[in-house]
Structure formats: C-alpha cells, structure tokens
Structure 1
C-alpha cells in the first residue's frame, strides 16, 4: 500500500467544508482542517504510487474550493 499526505490551500472560508467533502472520497484515510500556510491536511492511501497519482489525488483536486495542493508521498508506509 502506498500513502501520501496532501497539503491543501482553499478559497477563504472554505477549509471546513472542503475537509468534510474530501473525507468522503474513496482512498482518503483522514482529512483535517488546520491553521497555517495550508488549510486542510489529508492522508490518502492506495494500492501503489500509480494509484495515488492517477486516481486518488486527482479526485481530491476536483473538490470545489481547492486552489492549490501539494502531495507528499510517505517514504516508509507499512
């Protein structure tokens, strides 16, 4: 299994709504809205790195209100 963190910036005032919408998507293991330079931190998981890049990350990026994402694969996901 491959996992990654996605750091998400949202439109002003949309962090909580985005976090809840993202949490309902397949492959999302956790979704929290936070303070700081990013608004939402998401942990995603899939069968392999290709699954993360081709299916799960793009589905997260399609959520309305997201302005930018940064995907950080976990180096040692057991």
Structure 2
C-alpha cells in the first residue's frame, strides 16, 4: 500500500467544510483541521501510485474552496 499525507490550504473560513468533504472521499483514512501554514491535513492510502494520483489526489483537489495542496508520500527506510 502507498500512504501519503496531503497538506491543504483553503480559502479563509472554509477549512471545516473542506475537511468534512475530504473525509467522505474514498481512500482517505483521516482528515483534520490544523493550525499553521496548512489548514487541513489528510492521511490517505492507495494500492498503486496511479490510484493515489488519479483516484485520491485528483478528487481532493476538486473539492471546492481549496487553494493549494502538497502531497507527501510516506517512505520507509
């Protein structure tokens, strides 16, 4: 399984709405509002890189009121 954290910036005042929408997406294990340079952090899991990019990241980026995302893929050393 491929795991990743998606760091999300939202329009002002929209983080709770964005978090709720992200939580409902397939492949999202958790999504939380956070304080700091990002407004929401989602933890996601997919079987392949293609599923991660086309199936999960693309759906997250389509959520209204998101202004920017950064995806951090989990690596194991």
| TM-score computed with the length of structure 1 as normaliser | 0.94
Tell me which moved more, 56-65 or 42-51: 42-51
2:71 alignment counterpart? 71
Aligned to 1:21: 21
Using the alignment, how far apart are the partners of 1:38 and 1:11 within structure 2? 11
Q: CA deviation at 1:51?
A: 1.1
In the alignment, which residue of structure 1 is the partner of 2:61? 61
TM-score by length of 2: 0.95
Structure 1 spans left out of the alignment, 5+ residues: none
How many aligned residue pairs are there? 76
Instruction: List alignment gaps of at least 5 residues for structure 2.
Output: none
CA distance in 1, matches of 2:51, 2:21: 20
Q: How big is the shift at 1:49?
A: 1.8
How far off is 1:48 after superposition? Answer: 1.6
Q: CA RMSD in A?
A: 0.7
Partner of 1:10: 10
- Equivalent residue number for residue 30 of structure 2: 30
